[in-house]
């Protein structure tokens, strides 16, 4: 074992493997043991490299990994500091104040990406370049459909990455999927469509958005092959449906090939419309994701997407693609979208290839984290099973017969673990009582074992209290 002294902390490097991995383990151990306390500022990578007599690359790699795991935080101009403490795993500011909403030791709710992975430096560089290059004419009142260069780049991206059929004139930029669905519902209602099928279970907030426009949301059940098209066809006056075909939320199933064809046939036969929320499509780990339904039937499908899971929901940027006879009706009421500067910044990320690189890095990160979660569940929670495709930022955990999701979720929250039961996303009463939706997107890699271990202890308490 080799010991080197750097800064004010004795880092113990075990001599095993690459130096940057040794540094990761040494710093992680110093943080966990309390030798590096919360809010301690670390030396710049160049200075630490000089003290250790190693390359700066090894230090930056170690810092980067620990930032990703949530032990460190960094900001341009503010350096790198210890953000982890034994009391909370939430994101912590320099002052030690926990970010709003971080009231749980472990937040396992779905739908949140790894906020630590947001490419701050690249976004800042892209924003500066976009502001520098933005033509003066584009500083006036924006095109309601969106910034044209972004629409051109998005059309190209969706064609090559998702197999969509799209031209710039088919793309409308909105502030997210919910905003797009709200506007589409207003236009659909004006066109005489006042009922829309939704998946059950499904995204609760999307149902709320639909019904807020005065359109009725009609639940359609989901099974192991996705949306039950046979039930959809029984609704004689239903002409629109929302579907998450690539990775259904929350069950995690993928719409089967047979169901895809049945759904498209339904739309053609009824002159209906499919709103395809391309949810989690970028993150498939066991195989390439299926291409879009929209690519198979571009005149019957409106494709929806956003950067909420790939960059951050705080950006507030999404889109929809509409072609054919529905296009005029579904672009009738569009108003101003996101800031032109934000659209131009995202366009720069696409143009420079930075967005594609970000997605590749995130796929590796989320695949590894999912594997960690699955391994921890199998080790610490015997009798539990995992459902859903190897994709996205969440999975479904099925409890053994002696446990029900409701009591486990309630007990977990009392012990500082935030969970959601599958039944919370169900419209119909008497739904599944054995499923828990485990979100791992914003869970630090270093917290996976601790989170699942804590959940296992909670389940033991639930069993004991039921005796």
Whether 7 shows a pLDDT value over 80: the answer reads: no
Residue found by looking up tokens 């029900």 in the block:
404
CA distance 422 to 336: 36
With vertex at residue 341, the alpha carbon angle to CA 76 and CA 185, rounded to the nearest 5 degrees, is 120
| Together in a domain, 330 and 407 | no
415 and 325 in one domain? no
Range scoring the smallest mean pLDDT among 153-167, 319-333, 424-438: 424-438
For residue 20, give the CATH number of its domain: 1.10.10.10
Q: Residue 197's beta-bridge partner residues?
A: 218, 241
Residue range 181-206: average pLDDT?
Answer: 93
> Is residue 217 assigned to a domain?
yes
Domain assignment of residue 115, yes or no: no
**Shared domain check, 137 and 58:** no
**289 in the same domain as 206:** yes
Tally the domains of the chain: 3
Residue 54 has pLDDT above 90, yes or no: no
CATH (domain of 366) = 3.90.1150.10
Is residue 443 within 8 A of residue 369, CB to CB? The reply is yes
Contact predicate 40/8, CB 8 Å? no
Residue 227's nearest CA partner among 267, 195, 254, 188 is 254
* pLDDT category of residue 94 using cuts at 50, 70 and 90: very low
For residues 370 and 346, membership in a common domain is answered with no
pLDDT at 67: 75
Residue 420 has which token pair? 């959601």
Separation CA 220–CA 232 (nearest Å) = 6
Mean pLDDT of 12-30: 80
Residue 210 belongs to some domain of the structure: yes
Q: Are residues 422 and 291 in the same domain?
A: no
- The answer as to whether 103 is a domain residue is no
Q: What is the domain range of residue 58?
A: 2-93
403 in the same domain as 260: no
Q: What is the pLDDT of residue 59?
A: 86
Residues 137 and 241 in one domain: yes
Q: What is the pLDDT of residue 247?
A: 92
Please write the tens of the pLDDT for every residue from 309-328.
999 999 999 999 999 989 99
**Statement: residue 181 has pLDDT above 90:** yes
Q: Which of 78, 93, 108 is the last residue of a domain?
A: 93
Tell me which of 66-80, 85-99, 264-278 is least confident.
85-99
Among the three residues 356, 378, 400, which one is the final residue of a domain in this structure? Answer: 356
State the burial class of residue 214 (Cβ atoms within 10 Å of its Cβ: 0-12, 13-18, 19+).
exposed
- The pLDDT tens digits for 204-219 are 889 999 999 999 999 9
Q: Where are the beta strands (DSSP E) in 111-251?
A: 171-174, 195-200, 216-223, 226-227, 240-243
Quick check: 110 and 437 in contact, CB under 8 A?
yes
Q: Are residues 189 and 207 in the same domain?
A: yes
Question: Given pLDDT bands bounded at 50, 70 and 90, which one contains residue 220?
Answer: very high
Of 335, 356, 377, which residue constitutes the final position of a domain? 356
Band of residue 53 on the pLDDT scale cut at 50, 70, 90: confident
Kindly state whether residue 408 falls inside one of the protein's structural domains: yes
- Looking at the DSSP bridge assignments, the partners of residue 107 are 418
Dump pLDDT digits (tens) for 237-252.
899 999 999 999 999 9
The answer to whether residue 106 sits within a structural domain is no
Name the DSSP class of 328. T
Asked if the model's pLDDT at residue 361 lies above 80, the reply is yes
| Residue 2 clears pLDDT 70, i.e. is over it | no
User: What is the secondary structure of 395-458 as a DSSP string?
Assistant: EEEEPPTT--HHHHHHHHHHTTEE-EEGGGG-SSSS--SSEEEEE-TTS-GGGHHHHHHHHHHH
Is the distance from CB of 416 to CB of 105 less than 8 angstroms?
A: yes
Q: What is the pLDDT of residue 3?
A: 37
The mean predicted confidence, pLDDT, of the chain is 87
Answer whether residue 341 is part of any domain: yes
In the chain, DSSP finds a helix count (H) and a strand count (E) of 13, 19
What pTM was estimated for this model as a whole? 0.77
Output the six-digit token pair for 11: 């880092």
What is the reported pLDDT for 21?
Answer: 81
Residue 101 lies in a domain: no
Tell whether 313 and 207 lie within a shared domain: yes
> DSSP secondary structure string, 222-289?
EETTEE-HHHHHT-TT--EEEE--SS-TTT-----HHHHHHHHHHHHHHT-EEEEE-TTTT-BSSSPP
Tell me how far apart the alpha carbons of residues 11 and 187 are, in angstroms, rounded to a whole number: 62
Using an 8 Å Cβ cutoff, are 394 and 252 in contact? yes
450 and 341 within one domain: no
- For residue 98, pLDDT over 60 is answered with no
CATH number of the domain at 308, please: 3.40.640.10
Q: Which of 190, 168, 148, 143 is nearest to 332 (CA)?
A: 190
**224 or 4, greater pLDDT:** 224
The answer to whether residues 303 and 425 belong to one domain is: no
Share of the chain above pLDDT 90, in %: 63
- Per-residue burial over 127-138, b if 16 or more Cβ lie within 10 Å, else e, is bebbeeebeeeb
Confidence bin at 429 (pLDDT 50/70/90): low
Q: Are strands 417-418 and 106-107 parallel, antiparallel or unpaired?
A: parallel
């Amino acid at each position: 074992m080799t010991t080197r002294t750097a800064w004010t902390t004795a880092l113990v490097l075990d001599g095993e493997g690459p130096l940057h991995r040794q540094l990761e383990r040494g710093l992680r151990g110093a943080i966990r043991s309390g030798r590096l306390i919360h809010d301690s500022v670390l030396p710049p990578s160049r200075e630490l490299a000089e003290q250790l007599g190693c390359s700066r690359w090894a230090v930056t790699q170690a810092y980067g990994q620990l930032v990703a795991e949530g032990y460190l935080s960094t900001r341009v101009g503010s350096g790198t500091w210890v953000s982890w403490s034994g009391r909370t795993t939430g994101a912590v500011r320099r002052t030690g104040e926990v970010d709003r909403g971080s009231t749980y030791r472990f937040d396992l709710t779905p739908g949140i990406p790894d906020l630590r992975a947001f490419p701050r430096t690249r976004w800042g560089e892209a924003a500066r370049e976009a502001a520098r290059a933005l033509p003066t004419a584009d500083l006036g009142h924006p095109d309601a459909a969106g910034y044209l260069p972004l629409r051109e780049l998005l059309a190209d991206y969706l064609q090559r990455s998702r197999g969509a059929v799209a031209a710039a004139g088919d793309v409308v930029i909105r502030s997210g999927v919910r905003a797009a669905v709200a506007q589409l519902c207003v236009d659909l209602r004006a066109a005489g469509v006042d009922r829309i099928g939704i998946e059950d279970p499904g995204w609760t907030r999307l149902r709320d958005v639909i019904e807020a426009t005065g359109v009725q949301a009609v639940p359609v059940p989901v099974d192991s092959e996705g949306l039950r098209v046979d039930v959809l066809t029984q609704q004689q006056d239903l002409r629109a449906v929302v579907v998450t075909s690539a990775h259904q939320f929350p069950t995690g199933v993928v719409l089967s090939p047979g169901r895809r064809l049945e759904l498209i046939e339904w739309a053609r036969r009824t002159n209906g419309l499919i709103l395809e929320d391309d949810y989690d499509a970028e993150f498939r780990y066991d195989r390439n994701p299926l291409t879009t339904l929209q690519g198979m039937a571009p005149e019957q499908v409106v494709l929806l997407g956003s950067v909420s899971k790939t960059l951050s929901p705080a950006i507030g940027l999404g889109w929809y693609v509409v072609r054919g006879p529905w296009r005029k009706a579904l672009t009738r009421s569009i108003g101003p979208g996101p800031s032109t500067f934000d659209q131009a910044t995202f366009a720069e990320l696409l143009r420079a290839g930075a967005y594609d690189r970000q997605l590749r890095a995130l796929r590796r990160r989320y695949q590894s984290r999912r594997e960690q979660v699955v391994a921890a569940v199998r080790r610490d929670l015997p009798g539990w099973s995992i459902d859903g495709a190897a994709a996205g930022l969440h999975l479904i955990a099925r409890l053994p017969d002696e446990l029900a999701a409701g009591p486990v979720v309630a007990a977990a929250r009392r012990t500082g673990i935030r969970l959601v039961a599958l039944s919370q996303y169900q419209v119909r009463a008497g739904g599944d009582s054995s499923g828990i939706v485990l979100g791992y997107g914003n869970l630090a890699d270093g917290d996976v074992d601790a989170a699942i271990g804590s959940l296992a202890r909670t389940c033991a308490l639930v069993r004991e209290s039921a005796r």
